[in-house]
Amino acid sequence: MILIADCGSTKIDWCLLNGTKKVAQIFTTGMNALLMTEEEMAECIMTELMPNLQGYEVTEIYYYGAGIISDEIKNQVVNALKRNMPHVEKIEVDSDLLAAARALCQREPGIACILGTGSNSCYYDGEKVVDNVSPLGYILGDEGSGAVLGKLLVGDVLKKQLPEHLCEKFLKEYNLDRNTIIDRVYRKPAANRFLAQFAPFLEHNINEPSIRALVLRSFTDFFVRNVASYPNYKELPCNFVGSIALLQKDVLHEAASKLGITIGNIIQAPMEGLIKYHSNYSI
């Protein structure tokens, strides 16, 4: 049986396949391999995943995760999995970006993008990621992401760049004031997640011209500063995974159209695409 893991910092989506049939889907606490030791990851797998695999014989594991940025980190994840499943014949560990590329493009060339709390993109040749513009995080980059959209929204509210009724609506809806926002952004951890939580406000008010302009500007920045760096970006489909892309797909199409970019697939999460990819691979 094949075990696929789509691992984020908050949760892991595990799917067990028998050929093309989905046998089980399991959700466990997330792991960021960049921030955890091999022992900590092994412990999480043992306590949360293994009880759900009793009676199943896993022969292959394909693990895609947050924080997979070097061979050293890949090996730590492999070892953490081997500690719990020593008889598995094959373990492949790679980044969440390759997961997006395989889920979106399968075995065809294309540009694969992530638009969620953060953003990322790559040029995929149908087998591997061959080019990647560094996302740089929400301070230096991450254009079009939930964190950056939230940052732009909060900044426009506090500087009164939006119509007064929208500024008042936002502060009231989230029970916020200037000092609280400054404290959460500059003094508390996980400012990116704090800012990304405001994405629904943009979605619910997208028909307001000022809100639509804000989202359109950020999506345009994403295409100009990331996608336009890839070869043949106007000839290849530009595909997206992530809640921001799915919820704001009309504005995403508008931004792409203005730059001569063709949008391909847009999905919320990669798992179904990964199931298709690995099911076809194993046949």
pLDDT tens digit at each of 283 positions of the chain: 999 999 887 789 999 998 888 899 999 988 888 878 999 999 999 999 999 999 899 999 999 987 788 899 999 999 999 999 999 999 999 999 999 999 999 999 999 999 988 899 999 999 999 999 989 888 899 999 999 999 999 999 999 999 999 999 999 999 999 999 999 999 998 898 899 999 999 999 999 999 999 999 999 999 999 999 998 899 999 999 999 999 999 999 999 999 999 999 999 999 999 999 998 664 4
In 159-256 the beta strands, taken as DSSP E runs, fall at 238-241
**Residue-level pLDDT at 282:** 47
Give the CA distances from residue 275 to residues 127, 268, 270, in Å, rounded to whole numbers and listed in that order: 16, 15, 9
198 burial via Cβ count (<10 Å: 0-12, 13-18, 19+): buried
Structure tokens belonging to residue 206 = 């997208």
**Residue-level pLDDT at 69:** 84
**Residue-level pLDDT at 100:** 95
Half-sphere exposure (Cβ direction) of 171: Cα atoms closer than 13 Å: 18
Give the CA distances from residue 136 to residues 133, 150, 185, 216, 225, in Å, rounded to whole numbers and listed in that order: 9, 17, 18, 20, 11
Farthest CA pair distance, the chain? 63
Edge-to-edge strand ranges of the sheet holding 2-7: 21-29, 11-18, 2-7, 60-65, 90-95
| pTM, full prediction | 0.87
Query: With the CA atoms of 226, 227, 232 and 234 taken in that order, what torsion angle do they form, in degrees rounded to the nearest 10?
Result: -140
All domains in the chain, ordered by first residue: 2-88 (3.30.420.40), 103-139+217-267 (3.30.420.40), 144-208 (1.10.720.160)
Are the beta carbons of 126 and 109 closer than 8 angstroms?
Answer: yes
Q: How far apart are CA 207 and CA 140, in angstroms?
A: 28
Q: Write down the residue that tokens 């100009």 correspond to.
A: 224
